[in-house]
Amino acid sequence: MHRLGHLSVDFVSLQETRNVAGMLSLEECSAWLSHFRFLSVASVVSALGCETVLLYRPIYSLIKSLSDADGRFVMGEFQRRGITFRLACLFFLASKS
């Protein structure tokens, strides 16, 4: 994660980010991510964790976000310099056959 702060990447999609054993709250995770100059939109499964996270740089304005209750989808609508666009992160769990 420390490498992301130095790369010229504006968006990062993370999957399977459920906080094991509830060690950090969502607020604590957001504070931790801010050290890497990222804000976040997450699909929240519980107060202690989430499955899918979309990280973005603060140069973009988050207009709105959508997520599902299962934590498998998150979408953010962003704006910068008068241009509005949407990014989605979808976690697809293949069934074991």
> Could you say which DSSP state residue 18 is in?
-
pLDDT in tens, 3-53: 555 667 888 887 766 554 454 556 666 666 666 788 888 776 665 555 778
The Cα-based distances of 88 to 52, 68, 92 in angstroms read 10, 12, 13
Candidate ranges 26-35, 45-54, 55-64, 70-79; pick with highest mean pLDDT: 55-64
- Domains of the chain, residue spans: 4-90
Please answer whether residues 46 and 59 qualify as being in contact, where contact means their C-beta atoms are separated by less than 8 angstroms.
no
Q: What does the alpha-carbon distance between residue 17 and residue 50 come to, in Å, rounded to a whole number?
A: 6
